[in-house]
Amino acid sequence: MPLGDHRYGKSDIRVVKLERGPERHELRDLTVRVMLEGEYDAVHTDGDNTGLVATDTMRNVVYALAAERTLDSLPDFARALVDHFLAHPSVTGALAHISAHPWQRLPGDEAHAWQRGTGGTRIEEVRADPGGMGHSAGIEDLLLLRSSGSAFEGFDRDRFTTLPETDDRILATVVTARWDYAGGAGDLEAVWARVRDTLLDAFTDHHSPSVQFTLYRMGEAVVERHPEVERIHLSLPNRHHLPVDVARFGVDDRREVFHATTEPFGLIEATVERH
Amino acid sequence: MPLGDHRYGKSDIRVVKLERGPERHELRDLTVRVMLEGEYDAVHTDGDNTGLVATDTMRNVVYALAAERTLDSLPDFARALVDHFLAHPSVTGALAHISAHPWQRLPGDEAHAWQRGTGGTRIEEVRADPGGMGHSAGIEDLLLLRSSGSAFEGFDRDRFTTLPETDDRILATVVTARWDYAGGAGDLEAVWARVRDTLLDAFTDHHSPSVQFTLYRMGEAVVERHPEVERIHLSLPNRHHLPVDVARFGVDDRREVFHATTEPFGLIEATVERH
Amino acid sequence: MPLGDHRYGKSDIRVVKLERGPERHELRDLTVRVMLEGEYDAVHTDGDNTGLVATDTMRNVVYALAAERTLDSLPDFARALVDHFLAHPSVTGALAHISAHPWQRLPGDEAHAWQRGTGGTRIEEVRADPGGMGHSAGIEDLLLLRSSGSAFEGFDRDRFTTLPETDDRILATVVTARWDYAGGAGDLEAVWARVRDTLLDAFTDHHSPSVQFTLYRMGEAVVERHPEVERIHLSLPNRHHLPVDVARFGVDDRREVFHATTEPFGLIEATVERH
Amino acid sequence: MPLGDHRYGKSDIRVVKLERGPERHELRDLTVRVMLEGEYDAVHTDGDNTGLVATDTMRNVVYALAAERTLDSLPDFARALVDHFLAHPSVTGALAHISAHPWQRLPGDEAHAWQRGTGGTRIEEVRADPGGMGHSAGIEDLLLLRSSGSAFEGFDRDRFTTLPETDDRILATVVTARWDYAGGAGDLEAVWARVRDTLLDAFTDHHSPSVQFTLYRMGEAVVERHPEVERIHLSLPNRHHLPVDVARFGVDDRREVFHATTEPFGLIEATVERH
């Protein structure tokens, strides 16, 4: 039965590149897809994999080239990927497709901290029951990332522990916060944006030895600076960014290339309260 | 068998409020949830619905109050919703939960046009086959909304047509664009942001008699202003915002309250090309 | 600037058709997309909408044809849609794309009740704190639908109430249940499937005057029949299926065609407990 | 500022366990969340991580216990996880939450092959243009998994290749198929289910040296057995199931525990046609 058009590749390769300049970091957050066409009829019809580039290898090439090249130009990076695969004797066509996710620098640390999007979704909630009325507010879908000043060391080790200690990691999270206002707190319309700004500020104003410490710092800052707020509950998933060992590919490893993961994720939750 | 805690309500009520000021519009894009507790044991155990507020009525109340009040303060709006339902004799507790979706004014028309988020996801793609190499770029997830200068009139009518003509509607879309660069187009890294800005600009620089016209206008502007671009394909879903008839509830109808829908949606697609 | 290929249409038209046979109902749950090509250059370039079929009209046609035809053959239904639009003088090409969502009849009422998928996601949870250990289980994503024996009448009416009473509606929900086991409950591995079967059975074994009544009935059945279960919490969104008034289009209205909605939705929650 | 309730853990741990019985495999597909409470005030307020169980360690424990225990009883597995963490001197409370995803055995190989859900979403499409009318059909969201008879060996190796060869892997995919019918193909309503059954059958009826080979086999079977079908396009993502090295934790490694991943994924696409 005739085999018609065929192609294959690797999709959803998540690459975060941190270019470590002397003054500031540059951040590129990409999702890459590579698709190849080639002389692979026998792969399909005879089960003969000779000459077939494994899709796992494609992923490795994306990481390796992201590490050894500047990403100043995404068109050039896409072109370099295509050129790489076209050089393979079995490959007759190649496609590199890059999605670049937008991040904005945070005012509190323009060199090493970002948010994605525009400040998250605002929540306002009023509830009443026979015991009285309460007002709370919150924020959801606030993506934040720090590329400096974050460590994780000194934790417990047993036979199930394989995580190495690190004094320098990417800290990325999606903030969900919920805070309760004190009774009679007055005009609350303007408070939300001020609390949000405090959260952004306190995310970066300290050395972070753990997500827990940063969470507490954020909550403490909100309760300290905003007398309207009685307590705040924060839920910070730890969106792990795993350093890619590019030295395996013969590339100088400057710890600039990361694999951004979504599952599993750490989840840190706590309440900080005035009383 | 004892009935324990119970509550009910309406969730995912989508409300867009346009406050039509003399100089500019204010836009509030909300998702509201209302939950009630009350003396409803007999509803559960005997099928006696006496005194039960239908969740459909809750939705109507949200629209009516959004129409008759200012939404200057979301906490006050949530409070007004709670007060409304607490006045019902069967209701003992009430909750109003509001999610406010962030929009930013567009530079091209700060009075009547917005984008949500920060400019969409950037796409860059290089492909090669035995016929040569091609480079294209694109944008995805670019949410745009105009609240003025958009009409839809003069279309075909037959026995299946129920849509009224309108000379003033909300035009909301999620732009997906994809453009091809001419061969030898040079340094393309900086072009993407310029094309994106042209798309934003051309979304609002004209009276819109249809999505088709606005789509063509956007495509034409890109090809005219950017010699690197050979052709552009645009896909514009029409995210319908349906005016809510609040006069039914005895509320003065200033055409300010809309029900934002996701399905079904119109879908308009076309290519504009240099040659 | 030349206009290239262009087309437009309506996407995500949600149609549920209930064919009311003498013994049993047949259920078709479809998402339809219609796309047209035609002589619409002037629509794009001049803003002249003459001859343009509104996408809202396309939706109406889908409902009208779904009502006046049998849906015994989906290929024939798609063909009929294409033929309808091709008859329009401005239309040169048409596409009808149908996604059919699979439902399975429920053992308890094979004539009028269905589940989608295969019984939902199973949840098992153990938690311990200084006060002791507890075990609960649950189910998520269990889609259920009844097409007979469901009414909603006698509820409260005020100036915000527009919902008509009905003695015959579609009742559709996505069950989330969570139940706690008594201490020392023994081997619990096999209990989950039995509780799930009880939930399915009790969804259909009665006349339903409200979601609340059906929820309570389901909870009561679980606690009555399963001595291991101390209490159960049920959360039942009401996925509204709105009858489409096809008489407007000159079609005989047998109340067989519904618009399935996702937002807003009613949300009914309660706990039923042994003590 | 007082620290209130706090807890942390690991969420979305994806575990697939294959119990390799002499006659058949048992499959468990789980998403696990572990949350701990403990004496961790100093972690939050002083940055002292002493005694803190890393969430990465929690994930490892889930894999290790999944490997060394039978999963005959999910309640017992959840209990074992809770017991494990409660034994830690700093931990005062623990929760294990398991979601079990339902799979059904495939008729063609009841020992080693499964589908999730009930046969995928059916697609029917008719399109017409001035050149004539065409009819195609398809299937989406058809999740399939084989636990035996799948290998990947003999592929190309260069300095970027790190994937080991394997003669025994899990092959999991989400089938998207689209086939075109020959003109004048007659009554097509019943054909869809027959083609779907052929796809299920051909997924397991052979030794699989690659996704490409299995894809071609599936397409070939459809075109061979169904004269109505002119050609079929198949798109098979390779949902990688990575074996977890549990020997690191001192657990006997029987290659039964896998980490199910969603990104990146391989993507294999091809058309098989009659002529």
Q: Which of B77, B117, B187 lies nearest to residue A118, judging by beta carbons? A: B117
pLDDT at A72: 94
**pTM for the model:** 0.95
Asked if residue A68 and residue A152 are part of one domain, the reply reads no
Task: Give dist(CA B209, CA B167) in Å, integer.
Answer: 8
Residue A250 lies in a domain: no
Residue D246 lies in a domain: no
Name the one residue in this structure whose structure tokens are 């929540």.
A123
Q: Which of D104, D125, D130 lies nearest to residue C95, judging by beta carbons? A: D125
Residue C88 bears catalytic tag: no
**Is there a contact between B140 and A79 if contact means CB atoms under 8 Å apart?**
no
Quickly list H helices, chain B.
Answer: 41-46, 55-68, 74-86, 191-204, 211-225
Torsions phi, psi for B85 (to 5 deg): -75, -30
Is the confidence at residue D185, as pLDDT, over 80?
A: no
Asked if residue D260 and residue D185 are part of one domain, the reply reads yes
Chain C contact present for B4, CB below 8 A: yes
C110 pLDDT band (50/70/90 cuts)?
Answer: very high
pLDDT at B127: 97
Torsions phi, psi for C272 (to 5 deg): -120, 130
The domain of C16 spans 8-100
What part of B 238-267 touches C (C-beta under 8 Å)? 238, 248-250, 262-267
Give the β-pairing of D121-129 and C91-100: antiparallel
Torsions phi, psi for A268 (to 5 deg): -120, 125
Structure tokens belonging to residue A86: 């076209």
Mean pLDDT of C123-131: 95
Region for residue A120 given its phi and psi (left: phi exceeds 0; alpha: psi -120 to 50; beta: otherwise): left
* Average pLDDT along chain B, 275 residues, taken 10 residues at a time: 96 97 96 97 97 98 97 96 97 97 94 90 96 96 97 97 97 98 87 96 98 98 97 98 97 96 96 95
Asked if residue D118 and residue D228 are part of one domain, the reply reads yes
Task: Give dist(CA D212, CA B117) in Å, integer.
Answer: 40
Could you please report the per-residue DSSP string of A175-202?
A: EEEEEEEPTT----TTHHHHHHHHHHHH
Is the confidence at residue C118, as pLDDT, over 80?
A: no
Asked if residue C223 and residue C123 are part of one domain, the reply reads yes
Amino acid at B27: L
- Asked if B10 and C265 count as a contact pair (C-beta separation under 8 A), the reply is yes
Asked if residue C34 and residue C92 are part of one domain, the reply reads yes
C184 pLDDT band (50/70/90 cuts)?
Answer: confident
- Boundary (domain end) residue, out of B100, B120, B151: B100
Task: Give dist(CA C221, CA C204) in Å, integer.
Answer: 12
**Is there a contact between D249 and A219 if contact means CB atoms under 8 Å apart?**
no
Buried b / exposed e over D242-251, threshold 16 CB at 10 Å, is: ebbebeebeb
**Is there a contact between A130 and B100 if contact means CB atoms under 8 Å apart?**
no
Task: Give dist(CA C204, CA C108) in Å, integer.
Answer: 7
* Chain D CB contacts of A155 below 8 Å: 49, 52-54
* Chain B CB contacts of A37 below 8 Å: 129
Structure tokens belonging to residue A81: 């990927």
What part of B 182-211 touches C (C-beta under 8 Å)? 207, 209-211
Mean pLDDT of D260-265: 95
Nearest C-alpha in B relative to A124: B98
Of C25, C84, C112, C240, catalytic: C240
Query: Measuring CA to CA, how many Å separate D138 from each of A178, D197, D267?
Result: 45, 12, 18
Of A207, D30, A183, D245, the residue nearest B79 (C-alpha): A183
Task: Give dist(CA D268, CA D205) in Å, integer.
Answer: 19
CA distance A6 to chain D (A): 4
**Which H helix or E strand runs over A16?**
strand A3-20
Taking only the tens place, the pLDDT of each residue in C134-157 is 999 999 999 999 999 999 999 999
For chain A, what is the total number of helices (H) and then of strands (E)?
A: 5, 12
Nearest C-alpha in D relative to A234: D6
Chain D contact present for C141, CB below 8 A: no
**Is there a contact between B64 and C35 if contact means CB atoms under 8 Å apart?**
no
Residue B207 bears catalytic tag: no
Task: Give dist(CA C53, CA C43) in Å, integer.
Answer: 11
Q: Which of D9, D60, D269 lies nearest to residue A267, judging by beta carbons? A: D9
Q: Which of C11, C210, C212 lies nearest to residue B264, judging by beta carbons? A: C11
**Is there a contact between B4 and C49 if contact means CB atoms under 8 Å apart?**
no
Residue B2 lies in a domain: no
pLDDT at C188: 95
Of B55, B57, B88, B101, catalytic: B55
Residue D112 bears catalytic tag: no
Strand partners, B128: A94, B133
Q: Do chains A and D touch (3 or more CB pairs under 8 A)?
A: yes
**Cis amide linkage into residue B243, ω under 30° from 0:** no
Chain A contact present for B99, CB below 8 A: yes
- Asked if C161 and B57 count as a contact pair (C-beta separation under 8 A), the reply is yes
- Boundary (domain end) residue, out of D55, D77, D100: D100
- Asked if B218 and C128 count as a contact pair (C-beta separation under 8 A), the reply is no
For position C185, which CATH number holds? 3.10.270.10
Asked if residue C194 and residue C180 are part of one domain, the reply reads yes
D119 pLDDT band (50/70/90 cuts)?
Answer: confident
Other C-beta atoms lying within 10 Å of the C-beta of residue B196? 20
Torsions phi, psi for D206 (to 5 deg): -155, 165
Asked if residue B90 and residue B44 are part of one domain, the reply reads yes
pLDDT at D118: 74
Chain C contact present for D5, CB below 8 A: no
> What letter would DSSP give residue C247?
G
Residue A248 lies in a domain: no
- Asked if C75 and D186 count as a contact pair (C-beta separation under 8 A), the reply is no
Of B17, B25, B226, B240, catalytic: B240
D274 pLDDT band (50/70/90 cuts)?
Answer: very high
Structure tokens belonging to residue C1: 């600037």
- Asked if C226 and C198 count as a contact pair (C-beta separation under 8 A), the reply is yes
Residue A189 lies in a domain: yes
Asked if residue D150 and residue D135 are part of one domain, the reply reads yes
* Chain D CB contacts of A101 below 8 Å: none
Of C145, C91, C86, the residue nearest C114 (C-alpha): C145
Asked if residue C139 and residue C84 are part of one domain, the reply reads no
Residue C249 lies in a domain: no
CA distance D162 to chain C (A): 36
Chain A contact present for B118, CB below 8 A: yes
Using only the alpha carbons of chain C, give its radius of gyration.
24
List of chain A residues with pLDDT < 50: none
What part of B 19-78 touches C (C-beta under 8 Å)? 33, 35, 40, 43-45, 47-57, 59-61, 64
Amino acid at B15: V
Q: Which of C96, C102, C121 lies nearest to residue D101, judging by beta carbons? A: C121
- Boundary (domain end) residue, out of D100, D124, D148: D100
Of A55, A57, A88, A259, catalytic: A55
Residue C252 lies in a domain: no
Could you please report the per-residue DSSP string of chain D?
A: --EEEEEEEEEEEEEEEEEE-SS-EEEEEEEEEEEEEES-HHHHHH---TTPPPHHHHHHHHHHHHHHS--S-HHHHHHHHHHHHHTSTTEEEEEEEEEE---EEETTEEEEEEEESSS-EEEEEEEEETTEEEEEEEEEEEEEEE-SSB-B-S----TT--PPPBSS--EEEEEEEEEEEPTT----TTHHHHHHHHHHHHHHSS-BSSHHHHHHHHHHHHHHH-TTEEEEEEEEEE--EEEP-GGGGT----S-EEEE--SSEEEEEEEEE--
Chain C contact present for D102, CB below 8 A: yes
Taking the mean position of all CA atoms in its chain, how far away is CA B13?
13
Structure tokens belonging to residue A105: 């620098």
Is the confidence at residue C185, as pLDDT, over 80?
A: no
For position B72, which CATH number holds? 3.30.1130.10
CA distance B9 to chain A (A): 13
Asked if residue A218 and residue A109 are part of one domain, the reply reads yes
ipTM of the complex: 0.95
Mean pLDDT of D125-143: 95
- Asked if D266 and D259 count as a contact pair (C-beta separation under 8 A), the reply is no
> What letter would DSSP give residue B54?
P
**Is there a contact between B102 and A79 if contact means CB atoms under 8 Å apart?**
no
Asked if residue B86 and residue B112 are part of one domain, the reply reads no
Amino acid at D89: P
pLDDT at A183: 86
Give the β-pairing of C257-260 and C3-20: antiparallel
- Asked if A224 and A198 count as a contact pair (C-beta separation under 8 A), the reply is no
Residue D123 lies in a domain: yes
Asked if residue D96 and residue D109 are part of one domain, the reply reads no
C268 pLDDT band (50/70/90 cuts)?
Answer: very high
CA distance C189 to chain D (A): 5
Average pLDDT, whole number, for chain D? Answer: 96
Taking the mean position of all CA atoms in its chain, how far away is CA A40?
36
Chain C contact present for B274, CB below 8 A: yes
The number of domains in chain D is 2
Task: Give dist(CA A97, CA B93) in Å, integer.
Answer: 53
- Interface A–D counts its CB contacts (< 8 A) at 245
Q: Do chains B and A touch (3 or more CB pairs under 8 A)?
A: yes
Task: Give dist(CA D252, CA D12) in Å, integer.
Answer: 25
- Asked if C44 and C93 count as a contact pair (C-beta separation under 8 A), the reply is no
Chain A contact present for B227, CB below 8 A: no
Strand partners, B42: none
Of D31, D55, D233, D259, catalytic: D55
